[in-house]
Structure 1
Amino acid sequence: MDDRFSTHNLEIRDDVVIKRYASWGRGEPHREWTALTLLAEHAPGLAPAPVEAALDAYPPMIVMSRLPGTVLRGQDATDKQITAMAAALARLHQAIPTRVVEAVTPAPWGPATAVNKYRAWAHKQPNLGDDPIVRLAYHEGAAWLASTDPDRLTTNPFPPVLGLADGNRANYLWDRDEGRVRLIDWEDSGSNDRAFEVGEVVEHISRVDGDLDAERLLALIDLAPREAERVLGFRRLVALGWMLQLGPDGPATPHNPAGTLERLAERVLQVLG
């Protein structure tokens, strides 16, 4: 298990990881413990096994099993790794019965929240600099956000799934010896829209920190035609949202290498078609 991208305090021992939370205003410890417990019952081995918890301590703390492997962020994903990512997502989305997922607290990051947030940002007309491609991407993206297409994404006609609600590839742990991917960092998890979860994975900003062949990953995920259309909509939403954060005065700008904004703008134009 890799802690390079963690925002909490991790004590990594030989067989367990002790996680002490730096913030818990969204119920992060309870969300993570619920997810780990459900996964241990319905999809053992896909995530760390829950060992012990002090959810109401100060700070809250969870003890979980330590998993082998390295995170997929920061490297170019190979075909084997992409295949293993698809298998992990399929197991996550299929192993837990719908009736069980429906009883789980909704994830704090989902379709309606994302649509409202990115519409508000676009309305403020953030400073995205003078690059013509970036300005075109903003113009096209803002027009799409102002249409009725995003509103249709907020109503999910499919059963909910348990999701990470975070497409960061630092949450995907590659075990080279077993040729499998496991999922870590469940503090923002909850019931969510599967199409949104998939869109988050393929368009999260971590995709520029090491290449991920999104089309190859999507080809390996069994999506109904209508669900595939929704994934495209969420790809547009997530890609545009990251671009809006990366202007000269954007909140995410200091954390990404030069040229990231321009790459994101090209991606926005690509997914908008």
Structure 2
Amino acid sequence: MADLVHTHLLDFDGDVVTKRYIDGKPGAAEREWRALTLLAEHAPGLSPRPIAFEAGVVRMTRIDGEPLRGLAAEESPLAAMAAALTELYEAVPSGVLQAVPVRPWQIEAVSDWVRERAAAWRPRDPLADRAVEEGVRWLEAWRPGEAGVRPAFGAGDGNLANFLWDGVRVRIVDFEDSGRSDLAHEVAELSEHVSMWVDGEVEIARRFELSGPEERRLRDCRKLQSLVWLFLLSHDSPRNPPGTFARQVERVLRSLGA
């Protein structure tokens, strides 16, 4: 799940990047290394090439390109981003994917986190309070089930800063929360990330061909992710422009039809 805390340090030495995890996040380095190794085999060129691994440290090749935040609303980078994501989701063969651990922050864990934040919520303003109340009401009634679940390899972080545009293609970095997931959940997490709308609305979800059940799962997962960002953005951050939280409140209420 996206958060607003730095989890690692990056050191650059020519074409080599060393990523050192600093917050003791269990399994993060291992997930990063696993993802880079799998993608080097099944989707070479999509992500950095793995070089070496030791406890808490991953060394990989450096990828050139400009982060997509602020660029993704343009057609060429957006189309390239969708192509890169499609390649990512489909890269790992089904037989191999079945043996990949489920990535952190699946629906159950995210739902529990939202409930905990809602229980600790203190009255703030009428619209925000209403968004929390309506969100909890929707969440308690939601039964995700297995309809619309299409297995996919997920990166686990929708931040546009992790998508690098070189003028021709988009490549992907940052796999600390990666693993086995499902397509609708991944697209929902990506679509609702604050970086996808705070600088100008980017609608990525329509770039993927989804079945009816997948579309329904996507809509529900987007509601859940919008609630995640409601709480994450409830504390002002210098990363985002003034009024970001108020805009998120409106997004939540709109997604819930409230």
Q: Same fold per TM (> 0.5)?
A: yes
In structure 1, C-alpha distance between the alignment counterparts of 2:72 and 2:25, rounded to whole Å:
34
Counterpart of 2:227 in structure 1 is: 240
Contact kept, 8 Å, 1:164 with 1:188, in 2: the verdict is yes
Counterpart of 1:30 in structure 2 is: 30
Contact kept, 8 Å, 1:17 with 1:65, in 2: the verdict is yes
In structure 2, C-alpha distance between the alignment counterparts of 1:19 and 1:7, rounded to whole Å:
10
Counterpart of 1:193 in structure 2 is: 182
In structure 1, C-alpha distance between the alignment counterparts of 2:223 and 2:251, rounded to whole Å:
9
In structure 1, C-alpha distance between the alignment counterparts of 2:88 and 2:71, rounded to whole Å:
23
1:145 is aligned, of 127, 134, 139, to 139
Shift in CA distance, 235/142, structure 1 to aligned 2, threshold 3 Å: same
Letter in 2 for 1:115: S
Match status 1:43 vs 2:54 = no
Counterpart of 1:127 in structure 2 is: 122
Question: What does 1:103-182 align with in structure 2 at a 5 Å threshold?
Answer: 103-124=99-120, 126-127=121-122, 129-130=124-125, 132-147=126-141, 149=142, 151-152=143-144, 155=146, 158-176=149-167, 178=168, 180-182=169-171
Shift in CA distance, 142/80, structure 1 to aligned 2, threshold 3 Å: same
- Identity rate of aligned residues, in percent? 41
In the superposition, the TM-score normalised over structure 1's length comes to 0.85
Instruction: Give the stretch that moved more between structures: 136-145 or 72-81.
Output: 72-81
State the Cα distance separating 1:37 from its structure 2 match: 0.5
Contact kept, 8 Å, 1:76 with 1:210, in 2: the verdict is no
Unaligned runs of 5+ in 1: none
In structure 2, C-alpha distance between the alignment counterparts of 1:95 and 1:109, rounded to whole Å:
21
In structure 2, C-alpha distance between the alignment counterparts of 1:163 and 1:24, rounded to whole Å:
22
Counterpart of 2:172 in structure 1 is: 183
SS at match of 2:144: helix
Shift in CA distance, 127/255, structure 1 to aligned 2, threshold 3 Å: farther
Q: Aligned-pair RMSD on alpha carbons? A: 2.1
Contact kept, 8 Å, 1:70 with 1:173, in 2: the verdict is yes
SS at match of 1:152: coil
In structure 2, C-alpha distance between the alignment counterparts of 1:117 and 1:193, rounded to whole Å:
20
In the superposition, the TM-score normalised over structure 2's length comes to 0.89
Counterpart of 2:83 in structure 1 is: 87
In structure 2, C-alpha distance between the alignment counterparts of 1:9 and 1:158, rounded to whole Å:
35
In structure 1, C-alpha distance between the alignment counterparts of 2:197 and 2:27, rounded to whole Å:
30
